[in-house]
Amino acid sequence: MFAYLVRRVIGAVVLLFIVTAVTFSIFFLVPKLGGASADDLASRYVGKSAGQEQIHETAVKLGFTDPLYVQYGRFVKGLFVGQEYNYGPATEHCPAPCFGYSFLTQQPVWPDLVDRLPVTASLAAGAAFIWLVTGVGTGIVSALRRGSVLDRSLMSVALAGVSLPIFFTGLLSLSIFSYGLGWTAQGGTNPMDASNPAWWAYDLILPWVTLAFLYAAAYARLTRAGMLETMNEDFVRTARAKGLTERAVVMKHGLRSALTPILTIFGLDLGLLLGGAILTETTFSLPGLGQYAVIALRANDLPKVLGVTLIAAFFIVLANLIVDLLYAVVDPRVRIS
């Protein structure tokens, strides 16, 4: 068990390094492959009026002319000890952990990320809770009443949930519940500014439900399929043969096995969402990481985009690690062997 744990943690760390390296390479290599020279890159960091020589000087100072691995090394170092950006007129200090420095807004990326993470985390956690409960619940009911009218209607709704995009369901729900009925908050407020949890939830309820609808639909289908499979397993028949109540058979014996694969997918989804629920945050104008990424992309502010990508990667790796460890808790065959 200990070896398993250590191996997973080491694996996660190695994976993180690979992910940062690949992400970094993409962000710094792709423009070059597209024909942009180091000078073209540097031109973004100096004023529009700067001359060719000035630009080149900046490019050298910022290290754009260095080989890729040197740049990556500097970046990783910056993550731990911070980094100085000397772009000519002045030197900007980016304290550790330095996720890059945006010359457009003239500030390090990290504080922005820290600022926006709670919004995204609130959104993701709330939505995850809702979709897990409703999705898995719906899946169980559907599986147990397989072929009934209830099953078919639930699965139709689920199909709709999977197929309808968030900007459609989001806008529709906004126009009905927020602008029409006035039950929920309108978009654009920062739930983290709310004075108490009630207001926080009030601000987030619509984005939660909208986001959860999409995922709940997928989870309902997954749970249903998983339950249909496990309820036909021999050990479920054994549980019945022991005289357990149907409720105990379903919850203790059926569901426990059916949920294991869902755990894996849940970890991935949650990790991905923590990197920013782009569509939801944009639709509801929530100041989270997803919205931040979109704004940065529009402004061509590469350091910010890189920062968000790395945060997302970090959460995905972390979520995967947690899932792996949870797996060992749930399934003794993983633990002992």
Please tell me the distance from the alpha carbon of residue 219 to that of residue 141, in angstroms, as a whole number. Answer: 13
Q: Cβ of residue 29: shortest distance to other proteins, in angstroms?
A: 33
Binding to other proteins, residues 167-196 (CB under 8 A): none
- Contact segment (CB under 8 A) with other proteins among 27-35, 179-187, 246-254, 308-316 equals 246-254
Q: If binding is defined by CB under 8 A, does position 238 make contact with other proteins?
A: yes
Listed residue (309, 300, 312, 310) closest to 31, CA to CA: 300
Q: Cβ of residue 96: shortest distance to other proteins, in angstroms?
A: 30
**Helix or strand or coil: residue 27?**
helix
Check if the beta carbon of residue 67 is closer than 8 Å to that of residue 75: no
Q: If binding is defined by CB under 8 A, does position 224 make contact with other proteins?
A: no
Site size toward other proteins (CB under 8 A) is 28
251-280 mask for other proteins (x: CB under 8 A)? -xx--xx-----------------------
According to CB under 8 A, which one of 37, 171, 233, 285 is a site residue for other proteins?
A: 233
**Helix or strand or coil: residue 185?**
coil
Taking the least distance from each CB to other proteins, the nearer of 61 and 146 is 146
Please tell me the distance from the alpha carbon of residue 300 to that of residue 302, in angstroms, as a whole number. Answer: 6
Listed residue (27, 9, 12) closest to 316, CA to CA: 12
Taking the least distance from each CB to other proteins, the nearer of 181 and 329 is 329
Q: Cβ of residue 22: shortest distance to other proteins, in angstroms?
A: 24
Helix (H) or strand (E) holding 85: strand 83-86
According to CB under 8 A, which one of 90, 149, 198, 241 is a site residue for other proteins?
A: 241
Check if the beta carbon of residue 138 is closer than 8 Å to that of residue 160: no
Please tell me the distance from the alpha carbon of residue 305 to that of residue 292, in angstroms, as a whole number. Answer: 8
Please tell me the distance from the alpha carbon of residue 309 to that of residue 129, in angstroms, as a whole number. Answer: 24
Binding to other proteins, residues 298-337 (CB under 8 A): 330-333, 336-337
Given CA atoms 30, 34, 37, 41 in this order, what sign does their dihedral have? Answer: negative
Strand partners, 161: none
According to CB under 8 A, which one of 32, 44, 74, 240 is a site residue for other proteins?
A: 240
Taking the least distance from each CB to other proteins, the nearer of 39 and 233 is 233
Residue numbers at the binding site for other proteins (CB under 8 A) = 3, 6-7, 10, 233-235, 237-246, 248, 252-253, 256-257, 330-333, 336-337
